[in-house]
C-alpha cells in the first residue's frame, strides 16, 4: 500500500492562495456576465415620505366646466408628507404632480418621472427632481387651499364625511390612512383565537366619524381585527360581523336619528350584540386594543 505523500506547510499555503484566487477570479467573471441590478435612485432629503391622505381632497373648478371638474376631482390623488410639510396632488389637469408647500404657501410642478414609488403606496421625490415654481395659493375664509393658475384651477379642502351605513371597503377608499394603520397592526393571536372558539353569532354596530380624531386612531385596528375574525370564521369559528355607521360633524352629530335612538354621546361607540341581544358598549379609547376589549365583553358567553 502506498503511503500518502506529505506536503510541506509552505506548499499547503501556496495551494490555498491559488485556490482562493481562482475562486475570486471565477466569481468576478460570472459577475461580469450577469446583468447589473437597477440602481435605487437617491431621494430628496425633505420632500419624501408622501403618504396617501384623506385630510384634504382635490376639487377642480374654473373654466374646465362642471363635468370635467368632477371627473378630474374623482381621479386626483392627494398625498401628505409631515417631513416635507407639503401636499402632493397627482391626476389633475396640470399633467405633472402639483406640490403644495403649506409653510411657504407656494406651488410647484413636479414631473411624474421624478417620483419614486414606495412599497407602502406612498411616494418620494428624487433628489434631483426638477421643481418648476408656479406661484402661491390663497387660503379661503373656510381654510381651503385655493389654486388659481392659468393651467389649473381648483382647491384642496376637507372631503365630505362618510355618512350612514358603510362597508369596510368604503371606509378604506375614503380614508386610506385606515388601510395603512391596519397593515401596521397585529391583533393578539390569543384574543382572536379565544373569540373564534366561542359559539353563536356576534354583531358589532360601530358608530364613528371620518372627521373624529379618536376614530382615526383606532379604525385601522378595528378593520384589521374584523379581517382576522373573518379568517377564523372560515375555519369554523364564531361569526363576528361588523357594521359601520358614519355620523356627521358638529353641531349635527348627536341630532342624527341613530345617535338619538341609542343615546350616543361619544365616538367611536360600538354596540355589541350576541345572538340578537345587546350586551355591552365599547366606547372611545377602549378601542385602542379592539381584540382585548371585544374578548372581555364576550368572555364566558
Helices in 95-199 by DSSP H: which ranges?
168-174, 176-184, 189-197
Dist CA 56 CA 145 (whole Å):
9
Dist CA 72 CA 91 (whole Å):
7
pLDDT for 100 equals 98
When the pLDDT of each residue in the chain is averaged and rounded to a whole number, the result is: 86
pLDDT for 238 equals 76
Query: Given a cut of 70, is residue 301 above it in pLDDT?
Result: no
Q: What is the pLDDT of residues 246-272, one digit of tens each?
A: 999 999 999 999 999 999 999 999 999
Where do the structural domains in the chain lie, given as residue ranges? 51-157, 164-298
> What is the value of pTM for the model shown?
0.76
Cα dist from 120 to 40, 45, 124, 132, 179, whole Å: 16, 19, 11, 27, 10
Query: Given a cut of 90, is residue 89 above it in pLDDT?
Result: yes
Structurally, what CATH architecture does the domain formed by 164-298 represent? 3-Layer(aba) Sandwich (3.40)
- For the residues 108-137, what does the mean pLDDT come to? 96
DSSP bridge partners of 244:
166, 206
Q: What is the pLDDT of residues 159-210, one digit of tens each?
A: 999 999 999 999 999 999 999 999 999 999 999 999 988 777 899 999 999 9
Q: Of 12-26, 159-173, 212-226, 243-257, where does mean pLDDT reach its minimum?
A: 12-26
Q: Which of 97, 65, 59, 69 is nearest to 81 (CA)?
A: 97
CA 144 centroid distance within chain:
23
* CB 153, CB 138: distance < 8 Å: no
Q: What is the pLDDT of residues 227-252, one digit of tens each?
A: 999 988 877 767 899 999 999 999 99
Amino acid at each position: 500500500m502506498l503511503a500518502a505523500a506529505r506536503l510541506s506547510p509552505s506548499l499547503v499555503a501556496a495551494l490555498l492562495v491559488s485556490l482562493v484566487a481562482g475562486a475570486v477570479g471565477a466569481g468576478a467573471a460570472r459577475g461580469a456576465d450577469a446583468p447589473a441590478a437597477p440602481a435605487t435612485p437617491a431621494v430628496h432629503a425633505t420632500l419624501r415620505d408622501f403618504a396617501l391622505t384623506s385630510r384634504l381632497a382635490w376639487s377642480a373648478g374654473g373654466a374646465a366646466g362642471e363635468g370635467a371638474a368632477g371627473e378630474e376631482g374623482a381621479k386626483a390623488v392627494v398625498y401628505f408628507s409631515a417631513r416635507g410639510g407639503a401636499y402632493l396632488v397627482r391626476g389633475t389637469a396640470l399633467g405633472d404632480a402639483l406640490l403644495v408647500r403649506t409653510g411657504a404657501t407656494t406651488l410647484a410642478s413636479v414631473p411624474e418621472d421624478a417620483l419614486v414609488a414606495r412599497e407602502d403606496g406612498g411616494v418620494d421625490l428624487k433628489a434631483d427632481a426638477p421643481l418648476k415654481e408656479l406661484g402661491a395659493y390663497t387660503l379661503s375664509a373656510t381654510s381651503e387651499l385655493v389654486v388659481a393658475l392659468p393651467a389649473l384651477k381648483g382647491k384642496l379642502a376637507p372631503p365630505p364625511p362618510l355618512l350612514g351605513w358603510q362597508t369596510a371597503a368604503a371606509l378604506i377608499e375614503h380614508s386610506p390612512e385606515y388601510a395603512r394603520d391596519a397593515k401596521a397592526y397585529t391583533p393578539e393571536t390569543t384574543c382572536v383565537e379565544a373569540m373564534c372558539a366561542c359559539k353563536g353569532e356576534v354583531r358589532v354596530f360601530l358608530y364613528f366619524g371620518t372627521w373624529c380624531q379618536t376614530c382615526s386612531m383606532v379604525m385601522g385596528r378595528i378593520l384589521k381585527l374584523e379581517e382576522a375574525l373573518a379568517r377564523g370564521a372560515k375555519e369554523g369559528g364564531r361569526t363576528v360581523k361588523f357594521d359601520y355607521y358614519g355620523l356627521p360633524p358638529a353641531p349635527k352629530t348627536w341630532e342624527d336619528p341613530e345617535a338619538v335612538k341609542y343615546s350616543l354621546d361619544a365616538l367611536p361607540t360600538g354596540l355589541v350584540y350576541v345572538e340578537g341581544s345587546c350586551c355591552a358598549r365599547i366606547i372611545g379609547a377602549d378601542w385602542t386594543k379592539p381584540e382585548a376589549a371585544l374578548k372581555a365583553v364576550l368572555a364566558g358567553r
